[in-house]
Amino acid sequence: MSPPAATAAGCQTRHAVCIPYPAQGHINPMLQLAKLLYSHGGFHITFVNTEYNHRRLLKSRGGAAAFFDSLPPGFNFQAIPDGLPPPPTTDATQDIALLSDSTSKTCLAPFRDLVLKLNDAASSSSPAVSCIVSDGAMTFTLEVAKELGIPEALFWTPSACGVLAYANYHLLVQRGFFPLKDSSYLTNGYLETPVDFIPGMSNNIRLKDLPSFLRTTNANDIMFNFVQREISKLPEATAFLINTFEPLEKDVLAALSQLSPNLLTIGPLNLLLRQVVVGGDKLRNVSTNLWTEHPECVEWLDSQQPNSVLYVNFGSITVLNPDQLKEFAWGLASSEISFLWVVRPDLVSGESAALPPEFVDETKGRGLLVGWCSQERVLDHPAIGGFLSHMGWNSTMESLSHGVPMICWPFFAEQQTNCFYACNEWGVGMEIDPNVKRDQVEELVREVMGGGKGKEMKRRAVEWKNKAIESTVPAAVPAEVSPGSDAEKIARPALQSDSEAPPMEEPEATRSAIGISAAKLGVGSR
């Protein structure tokens, strides 16, 4: 059997086309997955962004020449149109409802054309496309996979609990919970209604803890219908992938496996990536950040005491109003805790994210404000003691992977569900009221950074960190691929070549959870 080194350019016999939903929080985990396929799966990679995001990516990475020169051989990027006019500013996050509607209606033809073009150009250094790995919210790609007779894996980037909630939207509609009768149901206590009939979900969950796309009075709402349509396509995929690990979401995963027997957990991806072999630093350094990172973050953290800094980042989509920005700012100032705060240029709706000069003066010397950063490096830094987060799944997984407790302020989608589980099931979070006030921000910041409950949350976070690490170390592999397991049943036929060669095996020296996860993803080979 060939060692992983044989997956270098020129020896790749399989070609995966990876296409994320065009938002930063979906692009990043898809890139992590693509790196695993390249390094341990023996795949040539074509990573497909939208044209708008591709332009943003090239700008953030120093231009086209610098970006493409930095790529390892056999790891390529392409772009297709998203069907929308470009936003007025080049760094703006696109409207999610309009983007979802447009991609589902307009992207099939350009995506098909791209895949056919890749096949027409196939050569010894760039094999024909053998599989598609698509975001679960880009299911138009399934039609192309069917036309070409190749497998497709759907990668749902939310938490398993979030996906399970989406999968039961239809049940909530059938029982008359949604759409809402009128807008008063948002504030009259209705959303406190318990939901105890979804198999696999916590019996303590409420309507308010389910993904926010349900909260509409309009049965024709774009996102209300979009997620129901996309999740209904799961049975059509060869495999269903989620970035999680079994101890964290065991009951939820058991319920999801009833929707698709080909469910595979492939996380935590950020920990698996530490074991990348093929491609080395060049592969590790491939980035799809749409904003320019500020390297001074880590340098500043190096000067701080262990567990003394609160990291604040509301992700790539959350938008605050000016009053919310001020409440968070003055809560941080009053806490007297050191902080690193990522303030995107488009963080505040309708205007620049300008903080009051008095706040800057008040926090000088103990606060650092940046436009974007390498979150993985920040959360891994010993100076970080807590994370004020929007509860996106990437942020939640990275925080758990590094044993960092969280202050939770969910914005939309399944972030509310992640918040519920972090606070009530996993014991690692405390929630800020949606109507944020500076006094509560100050109180929770002080608690998470040094209070009694904060210390207990830290203990629980470290426990989850250890379980996450255990899920990715070599010792975990034999159980994952034991004879007769679902992973073995899926991986074995998938790794057969056209000539019915035996399935590829990892050499003993590199046999690890990352290798097995890549083997699971061999659903993409023929």
Q: Are both 13-159+235-289+473-524 and 296-469 of the same fold?
A: yes
Selected catalytic residue, list 15, 26, 381, 402? 26
Verify whether residue 170 is a known catalytic residue.
no
Token pair 């903080």: residue: 355
| Set 44, 82, 135, 209: catalytic member | 135
Per run of 10 residues, the mean pLDDT along the chain (length 526 residues) is 38 87 94 91 93 87 75 92 86 88 97 97 88 97 97 97 96 96 96 96 96 95 96 94 97 93 92 74 74 84 97 90 94 97 84 81 92 91 98 97 98 96 98 97 98 97 97 56 33 34 32 41 40
Cβ neighbours of residue 299 closer than 8 Å, sequence gap 6 or more: none
Q: Cα dihedral sign for 139, 284, 468, 368?
A: negative
Extended beta strands in 81-150, E state = 131-135
Q: How many CB atoms lie within 10 A of CB 219?
A: 10
pLDDT at 277: 60
Q: Please give the C-alpha separations between residue 101 and each of 22, 313, 416, in angstroms, as whole numbers.
A: 12, 28, 23
User: Could you name the CATH architecture of 296-469?
Assistant: 3-Layer(aba) Sandwich (3.40)
- 361 has catalytic annotation: no
CATH number of the 13-159+235-289+473-524 domain: 3.40.50.2000
Token duo for residue 249: 């979401």
Q: For residue 68, what are the CA distances in angstroms to 7, 22, 277?
A: 20, 20, 21
Cβ 157 vs Cβ 25: under 8 Å: yes
Per-domain residue ranges of the chain: 13-159+235-289+473-524, 296-469
- 3-state secondary structure string across 205-248: CEHHHCCHHHCCCCCCCHHHHHHHHHHCCHHHCCEEEECCCCCC
Q: Rounded to an integer, what distance in angstroms lies between the CA atom of residue 242 and that of residue 268?
A: 9
Assign residue 412 a region (left: φ > 0; alpha: ψ between -120 and 50; beta: otherwise): beta
pTM over 0.85: yes
Backbone φ and ψ of 497, nearest 5°:
-85, 175
